[in-house]
Structure 1
Amino acid sequence: MSYQERGAEKACFARRSFLALIVAGTVGAVVRPAVAAEPMIKVQDPNCGCCSGWVQHLRDAGFTVQVDDASDLAGVRRRLGVPTDLAACHTAEVGGYVLEGHVPAPAVRRLLTERPKALGLAVSGMPVGSPGMEGGHPEPYTVVLFGPAGRATFMRFLGKEAIG
């Protein structure tokens, strides 16, 4: 085989390899399930107004949310293992994790993508500008990853936007 023929063969092989990678990546993207399609059950105090804003934020981000009103949220949190100091006004379950408080959709999506060993995520309190708490000047807040191994900062937000 001549030098020219070997060069042409290598170029052809390189093109086929490149095309195979593109096709594999495209097929992978098509058959991979959407993280946002993960079903979610949210338990809230029926007298809470900000909960519906958080639900709408998640639905706008593509999540399916079922809302259940409960009078004993403390009991639900105890059953799910939410630490009392991280308690907020609503609790949700998604993909085997617990969400407590005004956790933004990007944090939920990252949790479901990375699947860390933890019980879930929490945003304690009711930070101004967080999903469901719109209005006023947004304040920075931390989304905490919690579980048997302890706690860690998972993400930081200013309003609904991830920061640092």
Structure 2
Amino acid sequence: MAEVNIRVAEPEDAKDILNLLRQLETESDTFLVDADLSQITAEMEAHQIELINQTRTNFLGVAEYDGQLIGIVTVDEVDQNGEVGIAVLNEFQQNGIATALLDMSIDWAENYSQLTELILSVYVDNIAAVKLYRNFNFEVIATVSAKRAQYQMKRQLKKA
């Protein structure tokens, strides 16, 4: 049986990342993509991945199983903090993949980035995600009530 490979995304992953993001958009109401994916080509995404991999403020990691991308983690620099986003395909959830992706992004943030803390937003009723973030020492700094309540969470980075 194939193992899940947690790794940094490479430009060659561009087409598969776009396909993963499109599938995640249809599967989840907790996962939001900033851009209109229909407007992004594989070439554009490959270039973006190259740029991300050259920074110390942005990160893109993937989970791969049997040649298919099944999960993604992003860290996007916002005001010297890194905003974390994680998503795993429904059929692969509850297998520790999000945990491994988050662990990899924290390792990168603490050992390679110029960021001072990680931040994120999570729906209050997404109990599994809230528990995951708390297990990694994220703390709630605010609760935002819109159509659906969200926690704003942060984690100080321990720099090597």
Query: Structures share a fold, TM > 0.5?
Result: no
Larger RCO of the pair (alpha carbons < 8 Å, separation 6+): 2
Give the alignment's TM-score, normalised by structure 1: 0.34
Greater gyration radius: 1
Give the alignment's TM-score, normalised by structure 2: 0.34
